[in-house]
């Protein structure tokens, strides 16, 4: 009986060691999904940064970056992050012609992850 038990344990170990780990693909994580710039002067550009991690096992690709308004633009052109790496998305806000008061802009990011879209939000107080 003891020999059968040992043979069973060895068989289980051999089978479990031979199984391959399934790839998970790209996986995106953000340090923050909201960025408050604070007070900015009307007509002056403002910058904000979102730190992005690819915690998956394949390259993270931003296939579309869709700001809510034309006043928000991505200033860096790197839209791919290798597996296990970190990068920063830098956005520039053009406040020219914006009314004083609270400013909000949402950015939709379409990626090769599941789910495939993510939302970032930028807020500021325009003086």
User: Is the per-residue pLDDT at 119 higher than 90?
Assistant: yes
Q: Which helix (H) or strand (E) holds 10?
A: helix 2-18
Backbone angles phi, psi at 52, to 5 degrees: -125, 135
* pLDDT over 90 at 18, yes or no: no
Find all residues with CB under 8 Å of 121, minimum gap 6, and list them: 33, 34, 35, 104, 105, 106, 107
Considering just the CA atoms, what is the radius of gyration of the chain in Å?
23
This prediction's pTM = 0.78
The pLDDT value given to residue 24? 84
* Residue keyed to tokens 């003086």: 127
In angstroms, what CA-CA distances link 93 with 13, 15, 39, 63, 117? 57, 56, 13, 21, 22
* Residues 8, 12: Cα–Cα separation, whole Å: 6
Q: How many CB atoms lie within 10 A of CB 14?
A: 9
Distance CA 58, CA 48 (A): 27
What domains lie within the chain, and their CATH numbers? 22-126 (2.60.40.10)
pLDDT of residue 49: 95
Average pLDDT over residues 29-45: 95
Residue scoring higher pLDDT (63 or 17) = 63
Using CA atoms of 92, 94, 111, 55 in order, give the dihedral in degrees to the nearest 10.
30
Does position 22 have pLDDT exceeding 80, yes or no? no
Write the pLDDT tens digit of every residue in 82-111: 999 999 999 999 999 889 999 999 999 999
The pLDDT assigned to 88 comes to: 93
More confident residue, 55 or 20: 55
């Amino acid at each position: 009986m003891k020999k059968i038990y040992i043979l069973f344990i060895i068989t289980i170990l051999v089978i479990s060691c031979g199984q391959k780990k399934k790839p998970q693909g790209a996986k995106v994580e953000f340090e923050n999904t909201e960025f408050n710039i604070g007070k900015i002067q009307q007509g002056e550009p403002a910058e904000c940064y979102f730190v992005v991690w690819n915690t998956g096992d394949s390259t993270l690709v931003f296939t579309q970056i869709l700001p809510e308004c034309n006043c928000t633009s991505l200033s860096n052109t790197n839209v791919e992050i290798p597996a296990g790496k970190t990068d920063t998305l830098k956005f520039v806000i053009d406040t020219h012609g914006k009314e004083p008061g609270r400013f909000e802009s949402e950015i939709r990011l379409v990626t090769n992850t599941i789910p495939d879209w993510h939302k970032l939000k930028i807020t500021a107080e325009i003086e």
